[in-house]
A and B are shown apart, each in its own frame.
Chain A
Amino acid sequence: MDFWYTYIVLAEIYVLLGLSTNLLVGIVGIFSVSQAAVFGVGAYIVAAATMNDTLSFVPALLIASACGLALNVLVTLPSLRVSGDYFVVTSFGIQLLATAIFTNWTEGTGGANGLPGIPPPDIFGLAVTETRQFLVLSSVLLSLGCLAFWLAMRAPYGRLLRAIREDELAVAAAGKNILFAKVSAAALAGAFAGSAGGLYGSFLSFVDPSSFDLDASILLLTMVVVGGARTLTGSIIGPFVLLALPQLLALVDIPTTIAAASRQLIYGVLLIAFMLFRPQGLAGEKL
């Protein structure tokens, strides 16, 4: 049973992260490949703060979310100056930079060895120690995240973002503030990614740079592509499908050395196949 709970909790955390990526990449059209870096910062903040008892889980998560917000605004700023293709390269650089810091800043992040022994969340005195309990916590947070996403997208704000993705000049001609709309979308996406990170670390009780590297960013993009861009349903389906893959691979008895490689292979094939044959994903719109 715990096996299933673990799968659902992880998938839920990735849905939160998927909402963030979908907002930025799918809806606004800022093609970021550094969302895992923001995710990682959230995870390390909560890990560091709760491990040495500086803060309890709730304020630590709020701070992780606020830092994710600020950081994502900062890393998406170049997209306001350089367009499309150039930004992908910039964003790629940001992701590499983050991985380098996660790996080499040993005092802060534990370096390549990571940070073990992150305490379980403590919600106003109530310790969330069992996977079952964590499922409640992650489900509540995810519901709030989905509600926020849904409300934002059905409001004029969502329409403004879609319009910007389609034709920025036409939106400018309508007298709308494009800069503000984009920056606030980046902020919202960052808050989602930061809090997803905080949850992730506390759930696994261990973080290391490999969860927040370029592969992780690509995995996130794959989730958006497979689930479907710009819809809530797509953002939910993508992570559940893609995280089921390693579980399925675990069922067929292959050596662990090949397992990682074959996972990458399958993700790669899925990405290409969906882009070519089903660009709208399982339940979304064309990216």
Chain B
Amino acid sequence: MSAPVAIVEARGVGKVYPMPAGPVEALRDVSLTVAPGEYVAISGPSGCGKSTLLHLLGCVDTPTAGSLLFEGHPVRAMGEEERSRIRLRRIGFVFQRFYLLPMLTAWENVELVQSEAGMPAAERRARTRELLEYVGLGERAGHRPSQLSGGEMQRVAIARALANRPGLLLADEPTGELDDETGEQIGDLFDRVNADGTALVIVTHNPALAARARRRLAMRSGRLAAPSVVAGS
């Protein structure tokens, strides 16, 4: 029996930014495999390379060294278009600053990514209703981001990230703009998302949020601290 294909696998990846004052080595020799349904938290001091790693895992950027496989396919061989398609259909992103579109309602924000993926209207409607209820905002569908609290906006953003049923949800400091109590609610929601089968990789400073992950990684100066802490195994 062959092992299930990892969602994303980094093999000795590095990322160097050429800067006028000399190259910045943001990541060095990072290897990480995220299996379907996993729950990973990455923590570490500012500037240690967490966001850079997350962007590589999310096919937003490409490594300057090593290799990266997304669902078994080498990312390096993909063009910008193909990576864009993978991001749309297979990956969900949650940002510290939510980045909901301010002129659209919660409903429209969640629906937009589905229509971009070409989902039929009837299916979109059903999925959007289901998702808004899932994140507890069924009643707020017609509200714009400016009419929502920070925690509510992040819940809409999570609904949006899940809209096309991705196998992997990536979050960069998802509670960075929220108070502890609201952060707890977001943490509960992530737990539920993971329990429902979506793999999660969360970059966070928030120890309470990191503690929820089954696998907690520490980063320092562009390297993953070994060995990884694996909870419950």
The answer to whether A and B assemble together is no
Chain B interface residues (CB < 8 Å from chain A):
none
Chain A interface residues (CB < 8 Å from chain B):
none
